[in-house]
Amino acid sequence: MNGNRSRSPISFTRAFKRVFSVPPSEFDLAAWWHKRNDRGDAFKVSSYFLRPAPPLDPEFKVDVVERPAVRLAVSRAWGGYLHPERLVGAYNRLRNWADKAGIEAHGGKISGASRDDPDLTPLSRCRYDFLIELPDGLVPPTHFSIAERKAGLWAIAPVAGGLDVVDRAWSMLFKSWLPASGLDLRDEPAEEVYLKLPEDIGWTEFDLLCCVPVAHPQN
């Protein structure tokens, strides 16, 4: 009963109005963009999301797998779209601590997750988290937070290349593969799992897994 109510049109309208101050029927996209102080930079970022869905490439490989629950140490960067050096700083803080604590960082132990939609959130307030799996019983320093990745089903696509290749993979996964799969999203942030770390290949090339949380199919 509560689940059905949370998905009702009335609930959606209320949530929409909380964010945009008007109901969906009165929303003016052009006016929304015009009143953003960071609209120039935001449009550059959001152009990734506003492009039409790419055709589904039959060679685009996606595995749907169960991932176990794990505890994570979190190093957060604010405003990384405007200040990429903050992303590098947040990563380096986590990486340096992991070395001192003897935590393995290679082989997909570090991931990243964008916490905000730049279409809705000012770029200066957009958060990006670097995450590393914590061994049992280990507590990170207080300048990191602790999170839990819950056990669940994930759609995972490997991708290697520059930022444009990664962007296309995310677009393919969300806009083309996911609708065709018939699967629903779960309320968890998507993740980029780093198979190769920046200190190995730099910050302009990537070898990672694009991971999207999905719900188990309803029988």
pLDDT at residue 9 in the model = 75
Secondary structure E strands in 20-178: 63-67, 70-78, 110-114, 127-133, 145-149, 152-161
Residue 1: pLDDT band (50, 70, 90) is: very low
Q: Residue 79 belongs to what H/E stretch? A: none
- Beta strands 152-161 and 70-78 are unpaired
CA dihedral 180, 151, 170, 111 (to 10 degrees): -170
**Helix, strand, coil percent content, the chain, rounded in steps of 5:** 35, 25, 35
Percent of the chain with pLDDT over 70: 94
Backbone torsions φ then ψ of 27, nearest 5 degrees:
-70, 130
pLDDT at residue 47 in the model = 66
pLDDT at residue 6 in the model = 45
DSSP assigned state of 124: G
pLDDT digits 0-9 by tens, 53-98: 888 888 899 999 999 999 999 999 999 999 999 999 999 999 999 9
Give the residue, 33 or 132, on which the prediction is more confident: 132
Residue 48: pLDDT band (50, 70, 90) is: low
Q: Which residue, among 184, 148, 137, has the nearest Cα to 68 in the 3D structure?
A: 148
The pTM of the full predicted model, rounded to 2 decimals, is 0.82
**Residue linked to tokens 């198979």:** 195
